[in-house]
């Protein structure tokens, strides 16, 4: 079945940067697209960015476009989210998930029902 483990969260000032990492184990990462979602206190979980298994298509939420960069290194079995120019509204627990459909050749709308196998999350706190 495999698992995903997020890391790299922390406390940062507004305008700062963090790099989150999603480490895959127990399954063959190149077969799967990966999603990053986040959930702030009192809010629903929302999509941040998603990447297809080849890395050829990346979806970004409007709120993070131009600030966040999603990349994958299948050899290292990681999918990283570089977060720049962080804002207090980026404060949330960040989760990565695996696409349900193995070997998908389709692009992604980053819809929640396309992904499962979520990790335990990593906390990101941005102070103003």
**pLDDT (tens digit per residue) in 39-67:** 999 999 999 999 999 999 999 999 999 99
Average pLDDT of the segment spanning 15-26: 98
CA atoms within 13 A on the CB side of 25: 5
**Which secondary-structure segment (H or E) carries 51?**
strand 46-51
CA separation for the pair 80, 34 (Å, rounded): 10
Residue 112 in 3-state DSSP? helix
Tell the residue number behind the tokens 């697209």, with chain if given. 33
Determine contact, residues 69/36, Cβ cutoff 8 Å. no
Tokens for 89, please give them.
């509204």
Over residues 79-120, the pLDDT tens digits come to 999 999 999 999 999 999 999 988 888 888 899 999 999 999
């Amino acid at each position: 079945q495999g698992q995903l483990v997020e890391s790299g969260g922390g406390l940062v000032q507004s305008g700062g940067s963090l790099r989150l990492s999603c480490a895959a184990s127990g399954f063959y990462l190149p077969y799967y697209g990966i999603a990053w979602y986040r959930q702030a206190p009192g809010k629903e979980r929302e999509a941040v960015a998603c990447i297809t298994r080849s890395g050829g298509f990346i979806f970004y939420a409007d709120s993070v476009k131009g600030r966040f960069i999603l990349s994958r290194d299948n050899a290292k079995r990681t999918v990283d989210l570089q977060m720049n120019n962080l804002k207090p509204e980026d404060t949330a627990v960040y989760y990565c998930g695996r696409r349900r459909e193995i070997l998908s050749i389709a692009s992604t709308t980053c819809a929640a029902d396309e992904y499962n196998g979520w990790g335990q999350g990593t906390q990101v706190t941005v102070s103003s």
